[in-house]
Each structure stands twice: as C-alpha cells, then as structure tokens.
Structure 1
Amino acid sequence: MGLMLACELALADVSVVVLERLTEVDTKIKAGAINFPSAEAFQRRGMLPALGAAQRDAFERFGAFLRQRQAAGATGVRQPPRFAGHFAGIMLRGDLLDESDPDFEGLGPASEVGLVPQEALERLLGARAAELGVELRRGVTLTGFDADEDGVRVHTSHGSLRTGWLAGCDGGRSTVRRLAGFPFPGTDPEITGHQALVELTGADALGAGWNWTKTGTYAHGPMPGRILTVEFDGPPADREAPVTAEELQTALRKVSGVADVTVDKVLSATRFTDHARQVPDYRSGRVLLAGDAAHVHSPFGGQGLNLGLGDAMNLGWKLAATVRGWAPEGLLDTYTAERHPLGAWVLEWTRAQVALMRPESHARALRGVIAELTGTTAATTFFAKKISGVGQRYDLPGDHPLTGRSAPDLELADGTRLADHLHGGQGLLLDLAGDAGVRGRAAGYEDRIRVLPSRCPGRPELAALLVRPDGCTAWAADSPGGPGTPDELDAALRRWFGSPATAAV
C-alpha cells in the first residue's frame, strides 16, 4: 500500500519518502490475486502489460500443479471450469456467470487480468516508484513521531526527519496506528490459519482445491506445494514465532485426516487469524492510515490486498491536492467517507465466510445451501460481482447512473481507451458531443484536469464525463434531455478540484 500511495503522490510532483522495515521484497506467500478495481487502477497508470506478464507466470505454475498431480496418478485431475472467485472455498464457475449484467458492461482489458501474486505486485510497484523518483529507505524502522498542526517529525532507527504528513501503511499490527492512538474496535479471532509453499511427501492423498473435514478446512494447490489450513480451536499462541515444518505438518494432518503426509521443507509460510477490526476514522490530524493499518480481517475471498490498493488510489490524489494547495475544503475528509463503508463491508463479508467454514453441523448445512445456490446463474453472478468489485460505488451528488462509479473504459474513435488518458494522474473531462461550452467550463483547471474532445461510437448516448484522478466518475451527462447539466458540472469541478486558477488570481 505504501508503494502504491507513494507512486500516486509522486505523479503529482509531491516529494515522498517510504520507510520500509524489510531490507528486501517480502517473498512470503500472501495474496494470490487482484480484483477488477485493482487491475483497473494499474491500467489507468499504464501498468497493465506488466500485470499481464505476471499473470502468465502464475498460469504456468497452475499448469505445473495439474501436470504434477496427473503424473503422480491422482484421480479426478482436470482443468477446472473458468474461475469466477470463491466464497468460503465454494468455487464459482465462470460458465454460469451472466455477463450481460449491466455491472459487467464496458470493463475493457483490465477484466482479463486477475491472477497476480502480491510479491509480483510489490516488485512492479517498486520499479514504478523508482522511475518516479520515490525515495525508498529499506531496513528502517519507525520508532515514534510528534505531530502538530504544521507537520510531523518522524523518529526512526536511522534518525529523524520532518514531513508534512505521515501515512501509516504498515500492516495489521501498525505502529503508526498504535502510537497515534486510533481506536480499533472489532471482533476477536477464533481460528488459526496457515498458508505455505512447501515440499511434500504423500501429497497424492490430499484432495485438490478446497476441502472441508470434521476438524477444519484445508486447500491444496493451485500452485505446486501450496497448502492452506484452517483450525477452529482459537488463535495461535504466538503470532510472531517462525512457522516451522512441524507446525504445518501437524495442522495439515489434523484437518486433512491424512496421517502420513509429510512436510519435508518450508519454502514460504505465513500464519493468520480472523480477527476483524476497523478504525472509525482513517485520519487523525496530519496522520492517515491505509490498508491493513486501517482494517484487518481474515484473507478469505481475497479482499485485503485489493481494499488496500483502493485506499491508496483514493487517498493519493486527495493528499497530493492538499499538499499542493488546490484542494477544496473537506476534500481529505472524503477519504474516510468513501473508503470506510467498503472496509466495513469486507469485514462482514469475511466474518460470514468464517461462519460458513466452521466444522459443525449447522455450518455444514448452511454451506450445502450456499453451494446449491452457487450452482445457479443468479447466485454466481451476485457473488462474482461482490468479489470482483465491479459494482463498487461511492455516494456522490448527481443523478446520472455513472456518477460515483468507476468510469467505463470507453473505446474512443481514435482507437484509444479512456484509461489511456489517465496515466499522468490528472482528472479528465471527456467531451463526447463536440460541446465547446462544456470544455470551456474547465478553464483554469489546466494544471489538474485534462480536457479531451472525442467520440465514442459504442456509447452514443453519453455526452460528457468528468473523471477524478482515481478513475471515479464525478459527473456525467447524456445527450440533450438526459441527466447531467452544466451547472452540475461546475459544482463537481469545484467539489473535487477546487477553485479554477483564473478565479484565484
């Protein structure tokens, strides 16, 4: 999250320093995929080709797992139906998805990218940050800070520095959150989970994919040596202790019932729980939180990484506008107003999955009902929309159905797409009706908004769009007679981009 936020700030010519406790990229196995809003964010910054390459690598490892299982003589090994996500380990079949649903309209190339591991993302963002001139200080630990009305003095293991703002993107056990005194209400953990890449003996006896037993839940694959276990007998005694082969083997044997499966070597491993907590406000004066520092939950459904990336995209341009002095009153407060509801939803979404995975009769019965439902087009489409994030929307003023939603990736008459015109991190006023009056209303915003006259043959009803730097539609207008008036455009310009430079002069 820190690197994503740093890149957004650097795009706006804001000087930023990233402090990273680790000396190298973390290679522990973590999130394995991104959702549509995350892929879309990378596309809007020109990084979609790099994501595609990372996904091809992941698909090659998936293919290797299937070939490994087949070579070992495992039965029932076949290429699964097109994957559309999972809920509590219940797979959603892509062939049941209703792709005519309006929320899937106009998604563009970003919809083809999803299987990108967290480690690959960090390497891509690290390279991007370096290109933008971000200063990354590795091996540096934050030890304290003193905040006042004018800025923050940050104390580290390598000295102190003065900064205007401090953004805590330091994970679920955030030092910034603790030292700043943010409340962190929520629910306590009831599970111990492990995820690991290991070398196994006796793996042929394990079921591929997600499996439920009388003692817990486990998953095997889709990469060679990847295992996940969930035990429902309380949280781990020591979250900080290294994860050993013996610990993983004990957990795997317990939940799988396979007594002779052996963990010969640990390549990468993490331990997790299902505590679910969220700060009420993501800002306290000059200190802000993003990602797991602001909200923690179990990893089920793969929402954590994506939620953090969304936080960074939402906060980045607003903080940059504040630093550069053109932010309208209250702009930074909209960060919490827009992102907190999404975080609260994710906490509930993951709590529901934990309840469904419990190894007791009532949960098993309910899981059977949900599994039967997900065999239908309607339920698969519902769950897939939630998991993929295609239906996310902020509550913004305006009656147009696009307002508050991610801007559709329109294919324009010149062959470019809308996302191609957001690479620089500015806003975009797209005139699709040749209306000089609409374009003229952006006078004085040249340093914040790119004005683009064009045509969109595929959406003839659209007359104009105002898109924020994070890709959210701030205002939209249809052809004469539809929603979206010039006065509403003026209000949206001032609400999100402040006063025009000419008016300030």
Structure 2
Amino acid sequence: MTADVVVAGGGPNGLMLACELRLAGLRPVVLERLPERSRAIRAEALVGRVLELIDRRGLYGQLSAGQDGPVTTPFFNFGGVPLDLRELPVNPLYLLRIPQPVLEERLGERAAELGVDLRRDHEVLGFEQDDDGVRVRVRTPDGEHEIAARYLVGCDGAHSTIRKSAGIPFPDYGDQDVVSRGADVVLPAEILGGEQGSDDILQRNSWLETPELGRVPFGYHRNDRGAYAIGSFQPGVQIVATWEWGRAHIDPAVPATVAEVAASLGRILGAEVPMSEPPGPGPHRLYRLAGDSRVAERYRSGRVFLVGDAAHVHAGINGPGLNLGLQDGVNLAWKLAAALHGWAPPGLLDTYQQERRPAAERVVMQTQAQAALMAPGANVTSLRALFGELIGNPDTLGAIAAVMAGTDLHYPAPDTTQPHPMTGRWAPDVRFSSAHGAARLADLMRGARPVLLDLTADGSVVELANGWKDRVDLVVGQDADLAVDALLVRPDGYVAWAADPRTPPAVVETDLAAALRSWFGPAA
C-alpha cells in the first residue's frame, strides 16, 4: 500500500492536518511514536483566528462542549500589560479555554469519524525520497519497516526528526536568556485570601497572605528580579508561572518539578511560598521553557513539508502556538490534495511556505516584544508606562489585538489578477438568504472545499465557473450583509477573488477566470 500522505506526529497539528486531508478525499496515515495520547498540558487555550476556522469546519461545538460559536474575550494582556477590549468596534481576540489533552482527544474523535488511519507506537526514524514519492522508515512494536507515500509532512514538534532528516536549518531568532516555568499546584489554604463566600472562583482566590511578604496579589506582576503570575480556574488548584532572566543555562534533559517552580517564585518574590503537587492523576501542568525563537529556513524539501512546531518555535506567551500551527495544516492540506488530484496549478505547493513562513515570523516578533515588556529593569518599567498610554488609543489597541489574534495576516495575490481589497484576507462570515433559507459562509465550508458565492441579482457569476464545478462549490445567494457581488473563497477561509457592484462584467469574467486558474488549475 502507498499512502497519499504520511503525517509524522499525532498531536493537534497532525490530527487537524489529517482531518483536512480526509475531507479532501485523500488517505493519510498518521504515525505517532507515543503508545497512548499524552496527558501533558502544553497549552490551555485556543486564541484568535483559529477559532473562526474551527467554526467553519463545524468543530466548534465539539471542542467547546456545545457552545454555538466563537466568543471574544473582553480582557487580555500584552506582555503583562492589561488590555481592555470591550470598547473596540471589532474585537478579533476569540478565546476558548481547552487544555491540550482535551483538544487532542476531540480532534482524535473527529479523525476517527472521518476514517483517518492513526498508528500509535510508530516512531519515524527517517526517510528517503525521489521524484515519485517518499519511503518512510518506521519503528513499530513488530520491528522496523518502510511505508511508501506520495508526500510526507513533519508534525513532530520542535525536535523534529523530519526536519533534521531533511537537512533543513532551524536558526535561532531569539534571546535565550529568559526561562519560563509553570505548574498546577496546591497552595496552603491558610495563605489564600479572597472573598471566600463568593461563587466566583476568581473572587475566592485573589491573593496570598504571608508573614514575610504581606499581601501578594494574583494575576501578572513583575519586579527587578523577574515576573510571575498566579491564578486559579478550578477549586483547590492554583496555576503558578514565573519568568526569570539570566538563568538560561539549564539542563533540558532534567525534568521540571514543582519544587523548581516554587524556588523560582521564591527568588522573584524574595521569600519562600510553600506549594505542593495537586492530588490525582491529572493531567497537571508542569513545564520549563527556555526562550528559543526559531523558524525553519524552508518549509519544504521536495515531497517533504513541515507544520507547526517542526517549522517554528517561539515563546508561548498568551498562547499563539496552536493558532499558528493548526492554520499551517489547513493551509497545506488543500494544496496537497490539489497536487494529488491532478489539478494543482504550477507553484501551488510553494505558496505554503510563501504564506505561512511570514506568519511564523510575525508570531516570533510579537512574542519577543511581549517578553521584552516583561523583563526587569527601570527602562522596561518606563516602556510599559508609555505602552499603557499608547493603547488608550482604540486604533492602537485594535492593531495590537489583531497582531495577537493573527487577523492582520494578508496573503499576496497572484500576479494574474487585479486584486480587490479583500483578496488575500480572511473572508468575513457573510450571512445571506438562499433557496434553502438563511445561511452563512461558515455553513458552506464544512467540507473544506473552495466556494464561489454569487450574490448578484441574476446569479450570473457562477455560470462563469462551470468549468471548475468539480472542485469548487458554486452557491447563489441574495440579501447578503456584505457589499460585494461575489466572493471566491479558498478552503482555508481566505479570499482568492472578489468583485463589487462597480466591477464591469468583462472584468469580472476575466479576473474570475484568472483567479480560478491561479488557485484551482485549468477548467475541466
């Protein structure tokens, strides 16, 4: 058997990619070295654009335990500086709290529903490739063997075997002088302060009260020794996180411990705070991260691609990693499907790196900026004060929120079209009426296919795309809440082409055909 695509790594990014490939009619094989799903909490929330994307796949209810659709957060922070987003005309910061083990479990369920071939206890050792395919060497419980595939995608994390085997450099962009640590812990009840009678867990746990330190507030704080954050989202368990500078020379082979996190907090506060491990099997958060910021020099080597942490690592400040990595997989999947189905235009697979590598560089930029704002020192204190004044301007605040959400992303348009201002941007969730009743764009994108939405009075635009109806869904609607005549939307949710009522019919015909050929190949 030859698989269409071998996906190395069965974490959230690998599972999301595999689900997209199945929706596109391909046969991916996912190889995961762990015999069982990891219970480690590496992330605790999805933030930003990825939640809109998940909604367009019909997954939001499954991930959110039945909520109707993505919701924005009224408050957030940038490098520990509070952001009040309530007054923004458009708040782009969607937030869903979901621990990574739960996310992985639910994406695994979705993959099983779609018939994804997930093979646990299968460790990729390396590969060889030629013009026709890839031969992947795998260690299994039954010994070593090879799996043949047309393409191979490394979703195998920051220490990616695939990236190393491909010889792709992974240069360091950042300052490794910062070390962040965090853990779920139990703090002694006698030092917890707050409104103990409140039904709100955040009100019940608002500060620590110790003889040495007096009142230590929860939330994010910094001093001339570092920064810390304390919070609680479940009864009886607190989250402690610390950031220290000048302590980067640590042994990554030595696992982090709660005692290490306690010692770090003690150094920052200047006095010991007792804490212990939570009861029960967990999963419980426990990590130590050095300040690596790396982006692979290239995302492709022949028939081999990189997705997620295999392609980029950065500080985990405010959780941009899954937003970035899951969108990598969705961007790549439909392009691999186009190549395997035989209609990919020249260069389509190269647009994966052209589009997603700048997105990674932007995340590295904003997380490094946040780390700089968190550093100790009087100069940084002054910088934080100035930054706090600047974000009082709604335009500045909105721009910062967009960077964090990834909604400022704008893909370049092909040279073959005269782009509408919406081209290359995320397609808004247009609401319209159709022959089947009220609808929205998100409903049309459940199957991960391109959509041409014709909103003209006579439905004439879709007739221009009949030669592509085998690979593009053609939809006619009326009474839209968007002032455009038509939208061509890629499977990953970005606008490939748009026309407004002022566009001359001859230009509509010419530019639509050019956009269809540029992204979806020649007409059938």
TM-score relative to the length of structure 2 = 0.84
Q: Tell me which of 438, 457, 464 is aligned to 1:441.
A: 464
Q: 1:294 to 1:112 in 2, by over 3 A?
A: closer
Larger relative helix fraction: 1
Q: Tell me which of 466, 471, 476 is aligned to 1:453.
A: 476
Task: Confirm or deny: 8 A CA contact 2:48 2:404 kept in the other structure.
Answer: no
Cα drift, residue 82 of structure 1: 5.6
Aligned length: 468
Cα drift, residue 55 of structure 1: 7.5
Task: Confirm or deny: 8 A CA contact 1:200 1:265 kept in the other structure.
Answer: no
RMSD value, Cα: 2.3
**Residue 30 of structure 2 corresponds to residue 33 of structure 1:** no
The corresponding residue for 2:498 is 476
Q: Which moved more, 1:200-209 or 1:416-425?
A: 200-209
Query: CA-to-partner distance for each residue in 1:392-438, whole Å, 9 max, x for gaps?
Result: 21111443121111111011112211110111111101110044542
Cα drift, residue 113 of structure 1: 5.0
Structure 2 unaligned regions, length at least 5: 1-12, 193-207, 210-215
**Equivalent-residue separation in structure 2 for 1:172 and 1:335 (angstroms):** 19
Cα drift, residue 355 of structure 1: 1.6
Task: Confirm or deny: 8 A CA contact 2:183 2:258 kept in the other structure.
Answer: no
Task: Confirm or deny: 8 A CA contact 1:96 1:380 kept in the other structure.
Answer: no
Task: Confirm or deny: 8 A CA contact 1:216 1:230 kept in the other structure.
Answer: yes
Task: Confirm or deny: 8 A CA contact 1:184 1:280 kept in the other structure.
Answer: yes
**Residue 106 of structure 2 corresponds to residue 124 of structure 1:** yes
| AA aligned opposite 2:251 | D
| AA aligned opposite 2:499 | A
Query: CA-to-partner distance for each residue in 1:38-88, whole Å, 9 max, x for gaps?
Result: 0111111111212332889xx9xxxxxxxxxxxxxxxxxxxxx96343211
Q: Which moved more, 1:264-273 or 1:295-304?
A: 264-273
**Residue 359 of structure 2 corresponds to residue 342 of structure 1:** yes
**Residue 378 of structure 2 corresponds to residue 361 of structure 1:** yes
The corresponding residue for 2:166 is 180
**Residue 495 of structure 2 corresponds to residue 491 of structure 1:** no
Q: Secondary structure at the match of 1:365?
A: helix
**Equivalent-residue separation in structure 1 for 2:380 and 2:180 (angstroms):** 18
Alignment of 1:64-213 (within 5 A): 83-99=74-90, 113-158=95-140, 159-187=145-173, 188-201=175-188, 202=191, 204-205=208-209, 206-213=216-223
**Equivalent-residue separation in structure 1 for 2:396 and 2:516 (angstroms):** 39
Cα drift, residue 288 of structure 1: 0.4
Q: Tell me which of 317, 328, 331 is aligned to 2:334.
A: 317
**Residue 43 of structure 2 corresponds to residue 18 of structure 1:** no
Cα drift, residue 450 of structure 1: 0.6
Larger relative strand fraction: 2
| AA aligned opposite 1:247 | E
Task: Confirm or deny: 8 A CA contact 2:451 2:475 kept in the other structure.
Answer: yes
**Equivalent-residue separation in structure 2 for 1:500 and 1:435 (angstroms):** 23
Q: Tell me which of 404, 424, 436 is aligned to 2:424.
A: 404
The corresponding residue for 1:76 is none
Query: CA-to-partner distance for each residue in 1:321-363, whole Å, 9 max, x for gaps?
Result: 1112111111000000111111111111111122221112212
| AA aligned opposite 1:14 | L
| AA aligned opposite 1:42 | I
**Equivalent-residue separation in structure 2 for 1:281 and 1:410 (angstroms):** 35
| AA aligned opposite 2:178 | I
Task: Confirm or deny: 8 A CA contact 1:141 1:157 kept in the other structure.
Answer: yes
Q: Tell me which of 253, 256, 261 is aligned to 1:243.
A: 256
| AA aligned opposite 2:166 | A
The corresponding residue for 1:65 is none
The corresponding residue for 2:212 is none
Cα drift, residue 231 of structure 1: 1.1
**Residue 398 of structure 2 corresponds to residue 381 of structure 1:** yes
**Equivalent-residue separation in structure 2 for 1:285 and 1:496 (angstroms):** 20
Cα drift, residue 163 of structure 1: 1.0
**Equivalent-residue separation in structure 2 for 1:134 and 1:379 (angstroms):** 44
**Residue 280 of structure 2 corresponds to residue 260 of structure 1:** no
The corresponding residue for 2:228 is 218
Query: CA-to-partner distance for each residue in 1:203-224, whole Å, 9 max, x for gaps?
Result: 5244211110221111112424
Task: Confirm or deny: 8 A CA contact 2:241 2:261 kept in the other structure.
Answer: no
TM-score relative to the length of structure 1 = 0.87
Task: Confirm or deny: 8 A CA contact 1:29 1:197 kept in the other structure.
Answer: no
Q: Which moved more, 1:269-278 or 1:195-204?
A: 195-204
Task: Confirm or deny: 8 A CA contact 1:82 1:93 kept in the other structure.
Answer: no
Q: Which moved more, 1:480-489 or 1:32-41?
A: 480-489
Percent identical across equivalent pairs?
41
Query: CA-to-partner distance for each residue in 1:82-133, whole Å, 9 max, x for gaps?
Result: 634321121211224233xxxx6xx8xxx76533333332122111111111
**Residue 325 of structure 2 corresponds to residue 308 of structure 1:** yes
**Residue 312 of structure 2 corresponds to residue 290 of structure 1:** no
**Equivalent-residue separation in structure 2 for 1:373 and 1:263 (angstroms):** 41
**Equivalent-residue separation in structure 2 for 1:113 and 1:343 (angstroms):** 20
Cα drift, residue 481 of structure 1: 4.0
**Equivalent-residue separation in structure 1 for 2:378 and 2:184 (angstroms):** 31
| AA aligned opposite 2:106 | L
**Equivalent-residue separation in structure 2 for 1:352 and 1:113 (angstroms):** 21
Cα drift, residue 151 of structure 1: 1.1
Structure 1 unaligned regions, length at least 5: 60-80
**Equivalent-residue separation in structure 2 for 1:399 and 1:200 (angstroms):** 57
**Equivalent-residue separation in structure 2 for 1:122 and 1:54 (angstroms):** 17
Runs of 4+ in structure 1 over 6 Å off: none
Q: Secondary structure at the match of 2:38?
A: coil
Task: Confirm or deny: 8 A CA contact 1:328 1:496 kept in the other structure.
Answer: yes
Task: Confirm or deny: 8 A CA contact 2:43 2:319 kept in the other structure.
Answer: yes
Q: Which moved more, 1:475-484 or 1:221-230?
A: 475-484
| AA aligned opposite 2:485 | A
